[in-house]
Structure 1
Amino acid sequence: MDQKLIESYADLVVRRGINLQKNKSVAILSGPGTYYFARALAKAAYRAGALHTQIFLDDLDILSERLKYQDTDQLRENPAFLKSFDYEMCAENWGYIRIDSTEDRLDHAPLDREKNQILGTAKRQFSSTRFDKLMRHQLPWCVCCAPGPRWAKQVLGDEATEDDMMEVLKPILLLDQGDPIAAWDEHDRKIKERQQKLNSLHIDSLHFKSPVTDFTIGFDSHSRFIGGSENLPDSRVFFPNIPSEELFTTPHMLRADGYITTTRPVSVLNARTEEIRLEFKDGKVVDYSAKVGKDVMDAFFSIDEGTRRIGECALVDETNPIAKSKLVFDSILLDENASCHIALGDAYPSCLTNGETLTTKEDLHKNGCNTSLMHVDFMVGSKQMQITAKTREGEEVELMRNGVLVF
């Protein structure tokens, strides 16, 4: 691949994604197949003045072996040094970059789903303080992707290479622009204009309607839509996702009724699911089916009560570059930014105007903010999707027609 292009991309993630400041440190999570980009990110971080960088490898093939040979008690154990590392990250405001594991999900031995669920739950509980700070946008974080040969073949066909995949990603990541950083600033400005329009409507509920969906979701009076860049407590701006096309908010955990169907594959507990139909009553999933992955959803819903309630609702225009590619990337980062989606599980307190004051689980629930050990996005948008808002004044406002935002 073009090394100058990779360097430009790494600089974008470091300088805009986490907006790294001089003498601050960075943790990078990567699979083996994208280690080359983790290395590029670490180098970019040092060029930007980083104090330390630490790359963590998430190897699903090794994970398969661990799940095979360890019992459940062993899987629940986490080494003490990780707790110290979490403390260091939170205390010293480390940046966190995760490279989506698109490459490595395609090359590993089978994962025991039940044991993988136990391990994932234990990890989330163990690092709950760090996860909470990330969900509240109190630490700078960014999820990005990197092309590899296996992912290229999965998305583009058997003859495709990582160079072909990079050509697809260039316009999506705005790397085809003369100054990608300036291009992202302009893109963010346009997202913020739509964000302000949505919030000015004082939306009480949204109705989603398509051939496979008839679904209404409600909001607390403190709910607000956000998108693109986010602000840290010190007012520094960062991008949680690159790319980023969504406008999202936190729904009320008790206000979801009807049925909604996924329109793109979703990886749940490291397993593929397709065409999940979720039926809600009073905010809770009361019935569900799936063309692929029903057993995976059984395991997901057994993790905790919060997995059956919604933690996020996002609007995405189907004319954006990811959707226009007409490709299924099998990457939650890309696919969720191609299509409207909901998330089951943990909600973002940062999407509530009073979110900073909600410090306990009880406070969050009183304000309709769901809590869970999990947060998984499910794409539900399509070119047949219609969305109508009802304002707190009772007015109905069309927001989306045939997958296109009309404001």
Structure 2
Amino acid sequence: MEHFNRNLEKYAELVIRIGVNLNKGQDLLVEAPIETLDLTRLIVQKAYEAGANYVHVHWQDDVVTRSKFDYASDETMDYYPEWYTTMLERFVENGGALLNIKVPNPNLYDGIDAALISRASKAASTARAKYQHYVRTGEFSWCLIKAPTEAWASIVFADLPEEQRVPAMWDAVFKINRVYEEDPIAAWRTHLDTLKATRKVLNARNYKALRYRAVGTDLRVELPEGHIWLGGDKGNARGIRYVANMPTEEVFTLPNRTGVDGTVASTKPLNVNGALVDRFSFRFEAGKVVDFQAEVGYEHLARLLDMDEGARYLGEVALVPFDSPISNLNRIFYNTGIDENASCHLALGSCYPINLQGGTTMTNEELKEHGGNSSLIHVDFMIGSAEMEIDGEFADGSIEPIFRAGNWVLTF
């Protein structure tokens, strides 16, 4: 137990010093499931030790979240409190940092009408549009991290006896976040340097397009002029470096909104607003999803694609080698924040304006004119595998290999 407590403390310090990189005098908002009480208390302690001005914890609970769909009146599905979004906006504008222990339950909404979930999600996304703009433009420091809950661990480690599932999940969380290293902070700085070198090479290449080939996938993704590859840490509007997702293994940019053509098949399940979607595929023409299939969760996927006009276009393209720390655990986590870092992936919906030269000062219409996409949603889905081949296409039409057998062939 003493060993576990030490690792828990190392994890808390890591997410404060590397994740949000909290600076003296900043406010911190922590969004946390009530099951993560011990970790959250340590995070608060480490935040104040780092000089936090004020730390507020917003507790979350699956039973409370589901209660709305089980007991509330129909009209409340289209309501989201303005006072809460105003609080988030003021928090960002005052220079605060956000740490979210993001642990969705894939079975949370079992038996709930997909239309109700879609309506509630749209209401929240619409109300939080300004706040999400701050997120996507890197206005402030924010970091998503993971911690076990019984519901999540029971899905991921269903093959283990019940009493072993949460400990197994903690072991996985510590491994993928390099907590077992003698100095996790130093290990993370080395890892971030590697991702920096990777994005530097890709930005120098300035590809016109990427071509993907794998089982069920034959896709060409055009990249807009002025695209920027990012990965690892990034700087907010005040120049503070932060890591938006821990763990992270990806480098990513934005595709040209109308330059995606072909078919692509998923390689991992997707959690859509608390509902599982699996074994799905898309066909794109001129950037738009014109046909799709799903063996599990078809209706939930259909609702997602109908969220708004931009939901059928891509907003992100990300490269992750198959031979990576998360992928090598050979475990599906049913959590996008982890699974996306074990696999090359794409994202439906809004782009990140930080991936485009001058993008953070553009309106949504200007973004579209320069190849970016705007939407209420941003949903990553995984397409990588050990068979994935990716080529880079240059402006003159020449081609060079980027991935073979799911891994990099470029030298960084």
- Shorter-chain TM-score tier: over 0.9
How many pairs were matched up?
Answer: 405
Question: What is residue 50 of structure 1 aligned with on the other side?
Answer: 52
4+ long deviations beyond 6 Å: none
Kindly state the Cα deviation for residue 106 of structure 1 after the two structures are TM-superposed: 5.0
Matched, 1:375 2:378: yes
Identity of aligned residues (%): 29
SS at structure 2 position matched to 1:197: helix
Question: What is residue 135 of structure 1 aligned with on the other side?
Answer: 136
Mark the CA change 1:296 to 1:92 in structure 2 (over 3 Å): closer, same or farther: same
Kindly state the Cα deviation for residue 128 of structure 1 after the two structures are TM-superposed: 1.5
Equivalent of residue 223 in structure 2, options 195, 215, 219: 219
Partners of 1:317 and 1:403 within 8 A in 2: yes
SS at structure 2 position matched to 1:227: coil
Counterpart mapping for 1:114-129 below 5 A: 114-129=115-130
Query: C-alpha separation between the residues in 1 aligned to 2:17 and 2:160?
Result: 35
Counterpart mapping for 1:228-377 below 5 A: 228-358=232-362, 360-377=363-380
Q: Can you list the C-alpha shifts for 1:128-157, whole angstroms capped at 9, x where unaligned?
A: 111101111111011110123443332232
SS at structure 1 position matched to 2:208: strand
Q: What amino acid maps onto 1:393 in structure 2? A: D
Structure 1: state its 5+ residue gaps.
none
Partners of 2:11 and 2:174 within 8 A in 1: no
Question: What is residue 100 of structure 1 aligned with on the other side?
Answer: 102
Query: C-alpha separation between the residues in 1 aligned to 2:172 and 2:85?
Result: 39
Query: C-alpha separation between the residues in 2 aligned to 1:240 and 1:16?
Result: 10
Q: Can you list the C-alpha shifts for 1:333-357, whole angstroms capped at 9, x where unaligned?
A: 1100000000001110000122123
Q: What amino acid maps onto 1:332 in structure 2? A: T
Partners of 1:346 and 1:374 within 8 A in 2: yes
Partners of 2:271 and 2:336 within 8 A in 1: yes
Query: C-alpha separation between the residues in 2 aligned to 1:210 and 1:108?
Result: 33
Question: What is residue 27 of structure 2 aligned with on the other side?
Answer: 25
Kindly state the Cα deviation for residue 80 of structure 1 after the two structures are TM-superposed: 4.0
Q: What amino acid maps onto 1:116 in structure 2? A: I
Query: C-alpha separation between the residues in 1 aligned to 2:34 and 2:197?
Result: 39
Partners of 1:64 and 1:111 within 8 A in 2: no
Partners of 1:64 and 1:110 within 8 A in 2: no
Kindly state the Cα deviation for residue 202 of structure 1 after the two structures are TM-superposed: 1.0
Kindly state the Cα deviation for residue 127 of structure 1 after the two structures are TM-superposed: 1.8
SS at structure 1 position matched to 2:98: strand
Moved more, 383-392 or 44-53: 44-53
Kindly state the Cα deviation for residue 68 of structure 1 after the two structures are TM-superposed: 2.9
Q: Over the residues paired in the alignment, what is the CA RMSD in angstroms?
A: 1.6
Query: C-alpha separation between the residues in 1 aligned to 2:305 and 2:110?
Result: 24
Q: What amino acid maps onto 1:88 in structure 2? A: R
SS at structure 1 position matched to 2:326: helix
Moved more, 57-66 or 202-211: 57-66
Mark the CA change 1:278 to 1:108 in structure 2 (over 3 Å): closer, same or farther: closer
Question: What is residue 85 of structure 2 aligned with on the other side?
Answer: 83
Mark the CA change 1:327 to 1:83 in structure 2 (over 3 Å): closer, same or farther: closer
Q: What amino acid maps onto 2:35 in structure 1? A: G
SS at structure 2 position matched to 1:226: coil
Question: What is residue 399 of structure 2 aligned with on the other side?
Answer: 396
Structure 2: state its 5+ residue gaps.
none
SS at structure 1 position matched to 2:252: strand
SS at structure 2 position matched to 1:46: helix
Query: C-alpha separation between the residues in 1 aligned to 2:154 and 2:110?
Result: 19
SS at structure 2 position matched to 1:203: coil
Partners of 2:95 and 2:140 within 8 A in 1: yes
SS at structure 2 position matched to 1:381: coil
Equivalent of residue 69 in structure 2, options 61, 67, 70: 67
Mark the CA change 1:69 to 1:162 in structure 2 (over 3 Å): closer, same or farther: closer
Kindly state the Cα deviation for residue 76 of structure 1 after the two structures are TM-superposed: 2.7
Q: What amino acid maps onto 2:42 in structure 1? A: A
Query: C-alpha separation between the residues in 2 aligned to 1:397 and 1:155?
Result: 38
Equivalent of residue 179 in structure 1, options 179, 183, 186: 183
Equivalent of residue 36 in structure 2, options 12, 15, 34: 34
TM-score, normalisation: structure 2: 0.94
Query: C-alpha separation between the residues in 2 aligned to 1:98 and 1:390?
Result: 38
Matched, 1:197 2:201: yes
Q: Can you list the C-alpha shifts for 1:278-330, whole angstroms capped at 9, x where unaligned?
A: 00000000000011111111111121011100000000001111011111111
Partners of 2:345 and 2:382 within 8 A in 1: yes
Question: What is residue 154 of structure 1 aligned with on the other side?
Answer: 155
Partners of 2:32 and 2:100 within 8 A in 1: yes
Mark the CA change 1:115 to 1:393 in structure 2 (over 3 Å): closer, same or farther: same
Mark the CA change 1:71 to 1:253 in structure 2 (over 3 Å): closer, same or farther: farther
Partners of 2:140 and 2:238 within 8 A in 1: no
Query: C-alpha separation between the residues in 1 aligned to 2:61 and 2:175?
Result: 29
Query: C-alpha separation between the residues in 2 aligned to 1:182 and 1:354?
Result: 32
Query: C-alpha separation between the residues in 2 aligned to 1:48 and 1:111?
Result: 43
Query: C-alpha separation between the residues in 2 aligned to 1:209 and 1:138?
Result: 36
Q: What amino acid maps onto 1:370 in structure 2? A: N
